[in-house]
Structure 1
Amino acid sequence: MKTPILVSFFILLHSFLYAQQSIVPQKKNYTSYRISNPPKIDGILDDDAWQTNMIATNFTQTIPHNGRKASQKTEVKICYDDDAIYVGAMLFDDNPSGIKHDLGERDSEDDDINSDLFIIELNPHNDNQLLYAFKLSASNVQIDEKVTYSNWDKTWDAIWYSNVTISENGWSAEIKIPFSSLRIPKAENQVWGMHLYRCIKRNEEWVSWNYVNQKEESTVHQAGLLSGISDINPPLRLSFMPYVSFSETHNGNTNNWDSEFKGGMDLKLGLSKSHTLDMILVPDFGQVQSDDEILNLSSVETYYDEKRAFFTEGSELFGKANVFYSRRIGTTPIKYSDVYSNLDENEIVSENPDETQIMNATKISGRNKKGLAIGFLNAITANTNASIKDTISGDSRKFKTQGLTNYNVMVIDKSLKNTNTISFINTNYYETDSDIVSDVFGTDFTFTNKPNSHAIFGKAAMSYVDEGEISLGYYYNLSFNKIKGNFRYALTHKIIDDEYNPNYLGYLDNNNKIVNSFVFEYNIYEPFGHILSMYNNITFSNNYLYNPTKFASFEIDAQSTILFKSNWKTSLYIGGTPVNKYDYNEPRVEGKKFMEPTAAYTGFNIQTDQRRALSISVAADYWGTFEQNKMASNLSLSPLFRINSKMKLELTSAVTFLKNGYTYVGNTSDSDIYFGRYDAKYITNTLEFSHLFNEYISLSLRSRHYWAPINYKQFYLLNEDGTMNNDIPNDIAYNDINYNVFNIDFVFNWQFAPGSYLSLIWKNGISNYSNEIDHNYFGNLNNTWKSNQTNQLAIKLIYYLDWNRLF
């Protein structure tokens, strides 16, 4: 098994080293100029600062016709003083009435906001590693993000100023980006990397100042140059974001009202021109959107995305080697369930917090002029206790579900020539009461050849876990890729041994596996006929159990995604497992396996033009086995209605039908493992409404109902070969499941000053688990609404204080 992999890597390594260099267009260079009187940021380019002949112009298309002259003229001027960099853009348009300028929420996705855009992306270190992107819509909606080789981090928020004006000649934009919002090197004369983009929404035309080759994997290394910035003395980067919040929460289970008044602060301090200290004291994440909870019958823990801004910012550093999962901080206490097995007679659990309280968190990150980046994160959660009440005497006692816990992450990342990088990361977890210690040491690297046509990506880590007994484990993932041109490929080899465990401060679905995959891509970037672009790939995946080495699965998957000139988009896919598949985790007992017969699947999704007042997304797929009559079908429908330029409404309905599914239900010993055959349907309805009063005041409503009824048909004993045996004791039976989740998130948000917000939040949550199924959807929904629920009403004020504006 290993010999073909090594031979393939040597062959591909040869092509990596000897790939012919392609002709790279010379990068454009714009020379910025110093000013003494900053322009008024009103969107009108009549200030003295703009009276110069230094103009960035001659933009070319990136989409749809890569390299062709832009259909509309664009002129940009850039100047600076000791405080900030200023950008003035005139975006000419011969049809100004056609300029799209719908409102949208801050940090909207490009496709979600129906508006023309102007974008400046800056890399002060000019190291081909990171761009700070500042996007401005024709309706003055701000979008900012960090752009790395393969990541667009919208959770990064900067304080910057902007304004726009639509006129008979097109629209103009003025932007002020304080140096305090950037991390700049310490150098007398500076040369930055810079992209300038424009999106003409009605044509879905994207244009750039410096030529960007769509056939290359990344745009970070394709940036032009911004020079002329010299002798700047940026002010002290120090800001405070104190907050106060008040909430009233009604718990339907206890019928109690709880009032809570909280206060805390977020502090940012520039330790140097390149490094920043972030601190939060007694944070409040009450305004974060509720998780989309699901019923999980598998052996794999449900993964939920991080939505807390403090932890999402800096993902380009702290995400190295895939060993850090920030949701572990402030998560469910490790002994949350143990309290119920420690009750004495006549005792009940009166309170059991499902989250640990974060006392404080500190983060240091930045990159110096030599390309060395350092990231440090530390967080501490307080003791967490459940309350147990004696129903006879009325006495109460505490049960500690988690002691004081320290979380620590340290990252070092070095950028090399081209887009090459190498990183080292360590995560550490220590819980004081149980003396549990977990350490994970990882590395992450990217090596590309000079023409940036081929790359080797690698990740590896070792874990050390002391839970009374010490276990050591490791994993590595190597991938050789062709990353440029119409034809691309990726060969990946991954091993995770049976002792590797990063899960105290990371996330891993399952260890003990070997994964080999080969992906072929053929993409068409230039329009032809009615087609704008097309992306095609086929994947071969071969998986094994690591210890002992046993075959697990072989899968083939093919997919084609087409974007039409009408802005409709469709994807078609087909695949299957042509030989029996073996799951070594589902039995929940080491040495056992569950056999899945050969299967095939196919599906499609279609998305209509989202620039229209009404657009629809439709998706459907089917999966079925060639034996045992197992099948699953999915259908989802999502109409989006743009009521006007300020309001939109979207409904997403998805249903999955599963027939003759098999899942682990229990075991009486390591040899007697029981599975259940069941029918199920999973129905999710999500309603989202937003009203933007202007670019500073918004109202959003999100409601979601998830329903999962599980109806067991028969129970089996698991055979040694992974098949089912229906010769089981008559008393083996397990209850059906009826699971409902209903959430409402209502947020009224007012940005009354840059970085300052007043928010009114209402949250409603219902989670209902029973063994009685009402197969009528509306009858079930009515029963769900009658269940105990939690309602929270909160008001929160965040005020941004900048040291330089105060003094």
Structure 2
Amino acid sequence: MLDIRVLKIKMKKVLFALIIFLISSLLVFSQEETKETFGLKIGESIKVDGFLNESAWEKAPEISDFIQFEPERGESASLKTIAKILYDEKFIYFGFLCYDSQPEKIAAQMTKRDADIPNDDSVGVFLDTFHDRRNCYFFITNLLGTQRDGRITENGRTNETTWDGIWKSAGQKTDFGWSAEIAIEFGSLKYEPGKNKTWGINLGRSIPRVLELSFWAGPLESPEKVSQYGVLRGLNLRRAEKRAQIIPHIISKLEEGEKSELEGGIDARYAFSQMVSGNLTINPDFATIEADQEEINLTRFELSLAEKRNFFLEGSEIYQQRIRLFYSRRVSDIYGGVKFYGKSGGYEFSGLSAQTKKDQLDGEDSANFTVLRLKKDIMKSSTIGFLAANKLIGGKNKGTAGIDTSLYFTDTFKFTGQFALSYGDYNNNNIAFFLRPSYDSATFHIHLRYTQLGRRFRDNANEVGFIRDDNRHELDSAVEKTFWLKKWGFDRIKYRSNYNIYWGLDRNLRSWQIDQELSLDLKNKFSLEIEHTQEFKGRDDEFFEKDFRNYETEFELGYNTREWQHAQISYGFGRNFDSDFQLVKGGLNYKITQDFSFQYSLTRVIFDPDPEEETTWIHVIRATNYFTNDLFVKIFYQINSAIDKKNIQVLLVYRFQPPFGFIQLAYQKGTARFGERGAQGHALFLKIAYMF
């Protein structure tokens, strides 16, 4: 067994290094000069086609002199970029002229909305509409006009694409490289109307073939560091005219062996002001949502599954916390719900309430889930917040409540913390908290975290939240470093080291884990990653019947992983709870035509011995064909041999009022919960939604 004294010494060294870096950052910290720009207000219309050929673009001030974030932070961008800003009563427009001496190498493969578009040649707009130096919207597009949007919160702590705005985008190949236009509807943004308003802003460009990210405002410690953005001054902004959106839908269902069904529902959005809005949903449709992808779980803890339901997705970034007091996947299908979100006077607030249907599979009665979130801006770019989540079922309340903070003392030195309690069946040993100082620069990260979870905290909290385990005194530390070599055949080298150890509240050692990772990006587009993990799990009354020593070593080879179209394969081996195992994973993203993309992933795990019969093959296929940006077909197919699960979903979508008004035709077979074999027969769904 690993000598615990050695582990403690290593963690003390990490703490000492952290203190040195924090002191250094405070000593050298100075405020960079903030870049400023202006937008030109216009009266003529702009056709968003990517050409920038209207006369208004010629009059708009030029924004240039982009600065590299990587690979050579602080240096001028390797290729010239010019941006311009216009606005009228309805839209704010952004134009980009992207010069490229090798136009034949411009990457333009992504066609799916909210895909990882920076893996293509792309441009981005980041708008801090309250100029609070903490939160912003982002809008990214490529040569094909594909859209990725979302919100960054708490000065980069969260980055989510769950928010969908209403905007237009287009790109065009040119004799000098390529150009792009973006038009964002004011009605989809929250801001304070008035004259001579100031927004925070940054503009960016990605050139993946040389691993380059550059921005107008910089040099940045992180692309999401909103406090380092520039400013857009002199905006004369009126309140957006449209106050309400009503989106009714109908859905019909035909399933093998079942009666045909016809149902309807409604979604409504109302802007109480330009800064506060509310949403209502009645009988929302979750049937056509893509199934959870099967995956291997080498732990004995519950896996966290991604939320895919729009009602819970949009605005979910405000509920994200390290100790997760609200986990929307605890909420089953719902009759309906309401939610609101707003920001005013330095306060950000949100709430959600939903009534579930009776869960036929689990036999749980209808329940009400209610969540409230409040955050207050403090200092230059910091926040303090409160969250409460409650489940009311059978006349009894169960849930969580707590406070949290993110404190930025400099652009690199941050402290985060949280204090929470849970309530319900157990009213003692139900407290949890963590403290985490960290240092983050463009190429270096170090942190030390202490967490304590009471013995009964999880029992109550998992009625509404997600807590894998409790009864912990936990220490966690990590060091990460990126080296940009650009010589000897290497582009980039990354190293990561993580140490974790925790004891029960009775001071008995329960677990330790050491992770080491080294990744290499080569100039010939190949990449190599090596990971090694050693861990100890001590005997307890719930998860582990005796002491275990587990380990895993994994090698991964990739080609062109800096772009969407790539391939990778990995081989791992080790020992897991007294079974030897081998793990093979592979993946391929391939653009068959300009409009048809294909993704395949393979996971093969073999256990020896295998008393639980967990040896399995998992195959996952995704294919998408875009006839236009708003007419497309998607295919999802997966197999998990261990549970004999075969699941297929085909979805044809026409968005005649993007993104909310559409017609969907879906085919499904074998859809079921994660980790369960599907009994669903052939099923057809037709859904129509219209936005008023």
Q: Given the two structures, how large is their TM-score scaled by the length of structure 1?
A: 0.78
How many percent of aligned residue pairs carry the same amino acid? 22
Alignment of 1:125-274 (within 5 A): 125-148=130-153, 149-213=156-220, 215-216=221-222, 218-250=224-256, 256-274=257-275
Q: Partner residue of 2:385? A: 423
Q: Which letter does structure 2 place at the counterpart of 1:530?
A: G
Shift in CA distance, 614/122, structure 1 to aligned 2, threshold 3 Å: closer
Q: Partner residue of 1:693? A: 627
Q: Partner residue of 1:667? A: none
Find the partner of 1:118 among 119, 123, 129.
123
Q: Partner residue of 1:563? A: 521
* Distance (Å, rounded) in 1 between the aligned partners of 2:53 and 2:229: 29
- Kindly indicate whether the alpha-carbon contact (under 8 Å) linking 2:271 and 2:278 is maintained by their aligned counterparts in 1: yes
Q: Partner residue of 1:713? A: none
Superposed CA deviations along residues 597-639 of structure 1, whole A, max 9, x for unmatched, are 43433112122115789732111211137xx963122111223
- Kindly indicate whether the alpha-carbon contact (under 8 Å) linking 1:66 and 1:526 is maintained by their aligned counterparts in 2: no
Alignment of 1:70-81 (within 5 A): 70-81=77-88
Q: Given the two structures, how large is their TM-score scaled by the length of structure 2?
A: 0.90
* Distance (Å, rounded) in 2 between the aligned partners of 1:612 and 1:24: 35
* Distance (Å, rounded) in 1 between the aligned partners of 2:564 and 2:531: 29
Q: Partner residue of 1:523? A: 482
- Kindly indicate whether the alpha-carbon contact (under 8 Å) linking 1:465 and 1:471 is maintained by their aligned counterparts in 2: no
Shift in CA distance, 423/10, structure 1 to aligned 2, threshold 3 Å: farther
Tell me by how many angstroms 1:184 deviates: 0.4
Alignment of 1:679-690 (within 5 A): 680-690=614-624
* Distance (Å, rounded) in 1 between the aligned partners of 2:518 and 2:379: 35
Tell me by how many angstroms 1:300 deviates: 3.4
The yes-or-no answer on 1:576 pairing with 2:519 is no
Tell me by how many angstroms 1:120 deviates: 0.8
Shift in CA distance, 170/596, structure 1 to aligned 2, threshold 3 Å: same
* Distance (Å, rounded) in 2 between the aligned partners of 1:97 and 1:297: 44
* Distance (Å, rounded) in 2 between the aligned partners of 1:533 and 1:296: 31
Tell me by how many angstroms 1:78 deviates: 0.8
- Kindly indicate whether the alpha-carbon contact (under 8 Å) linking 2:250 and 2:263 is maintained by their aligned counterparts in 1: yes
Superposed CA deviations along residues 709-767 of structure 1, whole A, max 9, x for unmatched, are xxxxxxxxxxxxxxxxxxxxxxxxxxxxxx22111011111222332221111111067
Structure 2, unaligned runs of 5 or more? none
* Distance (Å, rounded) in 2 between the aligned partners of 1:101 and 1:482: 35
Q: Partner residue of 2:636? A: 702
Find the partner of 1:488 among 427, 445, 448.
445
Q: Partner residue of 2:276? A: 275
- Kindly indicate whether the alpha-carbon contact (under 8 Å) linking 1:660 and 1:678 is maintained by their aligned counterparts in 2: no
* Distance (Å, rounded) in 2 between the aligned partners of 1:72 and 1:177: 26
* Distance (Å, rounded) in 2 between the aligned partners of 1:531 and 1:298: 35
* Distance (Å, rounded) in 1 between the aligned partners of 2:112 and 2:351: 31
Flag the structure with larger Rg: 1
Shift in CA distance, 568/503, structure 1 to aligned 2, threshold 3 Å: same
Q: Partner residue of 1:324? A: 326
Shift in CA distance, 612/573, structure 1 to aligned 2, threshold 3 Å: closer
- Kindly indicate whether the alpha-carbon contact (under 8 Å) linking 1:324 and 1:505 is maintained by their aligned counterparts in 2: yes
Shift in CA distance, 126/595, structure 1 to aligned 2, threshold 3 Å: same
Superposed CA deviations along residues 661-682 of structure 1, whole A, max 9, x for unmatched, are 6xxxxxxxxxxxxxxx556412
Counterpart secondary structure, 2:117: coil
Tell me by how many angstroms 1:302 deviates: 3.9
Q: Partner residue of 2:569? A: 618
* Distance (Å, rounded) in 1 between the aligned partners of 2:92 and 2:157: 27
Tell me by how many angstroms 1:491 deviates: 0.9
- Kindly indicate whether the alpha-carbon contact (under 8 Å) linking 2:162 and 2:316 is maintained by their aligned counterparts in 1: no
- Kindly indicate whether the alpha-carbon contact (under 8 Å) linking 1:462 and 1:472 is maintained by their aligned counterparts in 2: no
Q: Partner residue of 2:590? A: 641
Q: Which letter does structure 2 place at the counterpart of 1:260?
A: E
Find the partner of 1:759 among 645, 658, 664.
664
Find the partner of 2:682 among 779, 785, 791.
791
- Kindly indicate whether the alpha-carbon contact (under 8 Å) linking 1:9 and 1:480 is maintained by their aligned counterparts in 2: no
Q: Which letter does structure 2 place at the counterpart of 1:569?
A: S
Counterpart secondary structure, 1:574: strand
* Distance (Å, rounded) in 1 between the aligned partners of 2:684 and 2:486: 52
* Distance (Å, rounded) in 2 between the aligned partners of 1:404 and 1:601: 43
Superposed CA deviations along residues 313-364 of structure 1, whole A, max 9, x for unmatched, are 212212235110111212xxxxxxxxxxxxxxxxxxxxxxxxxx41211111
Q: Partner residue of 1:350? A: none
Q: Which letter does structure 2 place at the counterpart of 1:582?
A: G
The yes-or-no answer on 1:740 pairing with 2:644 is yes
Shift in CA distance, 555/98, structure 1 to aligned 2, threshold 3 Å: closer
Shift in CA distance, 81/629, structure 1 to aligned 2, threshold 3 Å: closer
Q: Which letter does structure 2 place at the counterpart of 1:549?
A: R
* Distance (Å, rounded) in 2 between the aligned partners of 1:384 and 1:630: 36
* Distance (Å, rounded) in 1 between the aligned partners of 2:673 and 2:270: 45
* Distance (Å, rounded) in 2 between the aligned partners of 1:358 and 1:439: 18
Q: Partner residue of 1:435? A: 395
Counterpart secondary structure, 1:310: helix
Counterpart secondary structure, 1:650: strand
Q: Partner residue of 1:595? A: 546
The yes-or-no answer on 1:33 pairing with 2:34 is no
- Kindly indicate whether the alpha-carbon contact (under 8 Å) linking 2:69 and 2:442 is maintained by their aligned counterparts in 1: no
Tell me by how many angstroms 1:229 deviates: 0.2
* Distance (Å, rounded) in 2 between the aligned partners of 1:533 and 1:440: 43
* Distance (Å, rounded) in 2 between the aligned partners of 1:238 and 1:329: 27
Q: Partner residue of 2:409? A: 449
Superposed CA deviations along residues 363-406 of structure 1, whole A, max 9, x for unmatched, are 111222x32100111111245669xxxxxxxxxxxxx9443321
Counterpart secondary structure, 1:51: helix
* Distance (Å, rounded) in 2 between the aligned partners of 1:384 and 1:305: 20
Tell me by how many angstroms 1:15 deviates: 6.6
Q: Which letter does structure 2 place at the counterpart of 1:360?
A: G
Tell me by how many angstroms 1:12 deviates: 5.9
Shift in CA distance, 499/613, structure 1 to aligned 2, threshold 3 Å: closer
Tell me by how many angstroms 1:30 deviates: 0.8
* Distance (Å, rounded) in 2 between the aligned partners of 1:296 and 1:598: 17
Q: Which letter does structure 2 place at the counterpart of 1:798?
A: A
Counterpart secondary structure, 2:400: strand
The yes-or-no answer on 1:20 pairing with 2:27 is yes
* Distance (Å, rounded) in 2 between the aligned partners of 1:184 and 1:323: 29
Shift in CA distance, 612/191, structure 1 to aligned 2, threshold 3 Å: closer
* Distance (Å, rounded) in 1 between the aligned partners of 2:64 and 2:34: 14
Tell me by how many angstroms 1:29 deviates: 0.8
Shift in CA distance, 472/236, structure 1 to aligned 2, threshold 3 Å: farther
- Kindly indicate whether the alpha-carbon contact (under 8 Å) linking 1:616 and 1:638 is maintained by their aligned counterparts in 2: yes
Q: Which letter does structure 1 place at the counterpart of 2:284?
A: P
Tell me by how many angstroms 1:282 deviates: 1.1
Superposed CA deviations along residues 249-268 of structure 1, whole A, max 9, x for unmatched, are 22xxxxx2221212212211
Q: Which letter does structure 1 place at the counterpart of 2:537?
A: K
Range 610-619 or range 66-75, more displaced: 610-619
Counterpart secondary structure, 1:49: helix
* Distance (Å, rounded) in 2 between the aligned partners of 1:541 and 1:516: 6
Q: Which letter does structure 2 place at the counterpart of 1:740?
A: D
Alignment of 1:86-125 (within 5 A): 86-110=93-117, 115-125=120-130
Superposed CA deviations along residues 757-806 of structure 1, whole A, max 9, x for unmatched, are 21111111067999xxxxxxxxxxxxx9xx954222111112233xxxxx
Q: Partner residue of 2:339? A: 363
Q: Which letter does structure 2 place at the counterpart of 1:84?
A: F
- Kindly indicate whether the alpha-carbon contact (under 8 Å) linking 1:100 and 1:116 is maintained by their aligned counterparts in 2: yes
Tell me by how many angstroms 1:167 deviates: 2.5
- Kindly indicate whether the alpha-carbon contact (under 8 Å) linking 1:742 and 1:767 is maintained by their aligned counterparts in 2: no
- Kindly indicate whether the alpha-carbon contact (under 8 Å) linking 1:635 and 1:656 is maintained by their aligned counterparts in 2: yes
Range 284-293 or range 201-210, more displaced: 201-210
Q: Partner residue of 1:728? A: none
Superposed CA deviations along residues 523-568 of structure 1, whole A, max 9, x for unmatched, are 224534322222212222211122x331112222211122223333
